[in-house]
Structure 1
């Protein structure tokens, strides 16, 4: 969220700064130098005044007087020329190359013409020299240079720039904060909701009538609906647990009474009833465990020694595997510590070990290998030596109640829930669980978990 805040803040601030800079540059470019043209009729009056001076000097002193008059004004910004019909000045002197063409245009159009060339402005109008010959009077005005950098970086300009950036920054900070603060509040609520705190609400923390407020109201309505549904589901689970397990308990009592009163011929049927009752009881327990994993809030703050945990689980698995003539072995590995809920994680790994033992062939070994992977993660690989799983079914075996083969599941006593419980528990710890058919036969289940 901090990155979003900075992006919005910098976007606003750079936009305001850029807009202000463009406005300043345009104003600087388009602002004419002070005193350039005091009023719109400046050109007419200035050229007429210069032309009167030229007539007066020529009538009184001739060409020599005009030459002296022009040379006496050499250091000024205005230069004056009298151009004859041949395109030559009244007396030889350097002049811009465009002046003869401008003179010809004035003689043809017989009116005042103004031309701009770089910093020079040329004013040309019809003229009659002292010999009463048609000519053109030209005034070349040299404009002052544009303001230098010293004008742009005067103390007053720098103070104005600093105040502009400061005020713009404060406004942009307020805008960015007003946009990101409610989003951060909504994000925090969503994170709490994701961890299982279904009672979190954000409506009171966000005010106004903006779209974000509407989004917060929608979030509250969604959270309220989900909380009600989850509470209803949990209540149903508790009722199912009571309503199903109570008859099962009575059934087991009745089963023991039937054993005592029946003869040898009923033993086989009673044993079958007992197995199915135990299987149904196990299925109910696993189903409740699965639903609890999906809804309950489980603290994940215990430090778990993975070596001790696996040694206990392997010992328990070997006790069950002995009756199936299967062994469970774990490769030696360095002590590793992970963080989570030990009971929950133990149940997940136990389900995987029992599943591997259940489907492994006789006189085989279920291998458990632990390695430290990159990015502070640990990998636990459990490989059995059974028939494996069809490739099309590998991705589905972690779905609740999915069965690769109904007949095989009935023979093995599986319920189709154990791997789903393992999947939910591992993901609750921030890990992953995958399965693949190993080379040489058998299914390999790989767990990755974050380390402390």
Structure 2
């Protein structure tokens, strides 16, 4: 998984982990910047502690009978304690076939059953502070002789003594930082996802119960739920008003059409043009009301009646009329697919969706419209491309909104009222799909519909 170094999660984690590690190494840093006397005292203390730990580890390895482990521990002691160590078994044989120094046999003989540790001076010189150390276990006798090598450095001793502590601190601080970071970032991620759903028009999302917190973040979740509920109420009220208004307009519109027919029967030829204009506008109004009711019906239907069918069959129904309409306007409509794909959805609604998009493309194309069906990332992808003038980039995301028209005069000439693509988007959303508009490289516009493919 790729880590985003600009994410809040990463920043909180690094900040917490870095703070813990700084506090952990602060005592050591204070020793390093102190005077020489303090550093020497700390060095001797660390060296004695290291010697004690090494002796314990050597004794444990010897008693376990693990020869490789014992040899590794001996090498570690020789590295840090400036000594040469000999390992003798019960037959006084050196395990690593090293030549025993003079006096080693006498030292082994002095290690009686009740004597497990022996420390003696290396020489009779009073000024020589070097010592010979002897450890006896059940199976072995280990004799450590001092060497004339340069003592291990301050940093080497400190590292060897505290390496385990550093490792523990590193892992514990990492785990603690991950837990704390997750504690604070998880609710923010939940809120972020909820905000995204709100931006996509899903006002039913709620987060307070999922957050389940009593702190400021929990209060933020409650405030978010209140906001989402108010937005949902506003949208529902708006849709209900629009739906009721559309229904109410149907009755006077019907009476208008009836009166129009009566007027046409009584009027002379001089009134024909005016009456035709009234009829045209009433037809447009009737179409608009029908489309508004269609949008409202789809949005208010929680569970659509769905079935599994081939996407090709739905598009072919639309194309049968599309070919005729394209020929009538002197344009070319083509269709291609790479395979047959199945979808679980409402066939009538999807036919309406593709009909709105294809008719819209024919209306605004210059000479041709291409319809292509393919598959990408478990989605059926239906692309409808025209060779018209396209749409300015700033309008691409707006053309799916009801009554939104890029060029009002052009839409009036073609009879558009700005609801066809809005209906298409409503239908695609009801099928958990995606719809977007893309300007072609050279000319025209492509409407791309992505619908979840059915696993049949």
State the TM-score, normalizing by the size of structure 2.
0.56
> In the TM superposition, what whole-angstrom CA distance separates every residue of 1:227-263 from its partner, at most 9, and x where no partner exists?
221122012112211211122233334445566x647
Residues 295 and 374 of structure 1, relative CA distance in 2, 3 Å threshold: same
Mean Cα deviation higher: 12-21 or 232-241: 12-21
Q: 1:371 to 1:390 in 2, by over 3 A?
A: closer
The answer to whether the aligner puts 1:208 opposite 2:229 as a matched pair is no
> Residue 26 in 1 paired to residue 18 in 2?
no
Tell me by how many angstroms 1:170 deviates.
4.8
Cα distance between partner residues in 1 of 2:406 and 2:307: 34
Q: Paired residue for 2:188?
A: 183
Q: Distance in 1 between matches of 2:329 and 2:153?
A: 99
How many angstroms apart in 2 are the aligned matches of 1:152 and 1:437? 63
Cα RMSD over matched residues? 4.8
Question: Which secondary structure state, in structure 2, belongs to the residue aligned with residue 448 of structure 1?
Answer: strand
Q: 1:337 to 1:201 in 2, by over 3 A?
A: same
- Structure 2 CA distance, aligned partners of 1:224 and 1:153? 62
**Corresponding residue for 1:230?**
235
Aligned residue in 2 for 1:446:
446
Deviates more, 1:370-379 or 1:427-436: 370-379
Q: 1:350-390 deviations in whole A, cap 9, x for unaligned?
A: 223323444668xxx64324275987884624336xxx549
Paired position in structure 2 for 1:383 = 386
The residue number in structure 2 matching 1:249 is 254
Q: Which runs of 5+ in 2 are unaligned?
A: 45-124, 131-149
Size of the alignment, in residue pairs? 337
For residues 445 and 239 of structure 2, what CA distance do their matches in structure 1 show? 31
Matches within 5 A, 1:10-409: 11-27=15-31, 30=34, 31-34=38-41, 147=154, 149=156, 152-154=159-161, 157=162, 160-161=165-166, 163-165=168-170, 167-194=172-199, 196-204=201-209, 205-210=211-216, 212-255=217-260, 262=266, 265=269, 270-289=275-294, 305-321=310-326, 324=328, 326=330, 329-335=333-339, 337=341, 345-358=350-363, 366-370=368-372, 378=381, 380-383=383-386, 388-389=388-389, 395=395, 398=399, 400-402=403-405, 404=407, 406=409, 409=411
Name the CA distance, whole Å, in 1 between partners of 2:42 and 2:285: 103
Which structure 1 residue ranges, 5 or more long, are not aligned?
A: 38-71, 78-142
Asked whether the 8 Å contact 1:372–1:379 carries over to 2, the reply is: yes
Offset, 1:280: 0.5
Alignment partner of 1:32: what SS?
A: helix
Partner Cα distance (1:434, 1:374) in 2: 17
Return the alpha-carbon distance in structure 1 between the equivalents of residues 344 and 319 of structure 2.
20
The question of whether the paired residues in 2 share the 8 Å contact of 1:430 and 1:450 is answered with yes
Q: Find the structure with the greater CA-based Rg.
A: 1
CA-to-aligned-CA distance 1:161-192 (integer Å, 9 cap, x gap): 45544553453344223212322332343355
The alpha-carbon distance between structure 1 residues 21 and 289, as it changes in their structure 2 partners (threshold 3 A), is farther
Structure 1 pair 196–352 and aligned structure 2 pair: CA distance change class (3 A): closer
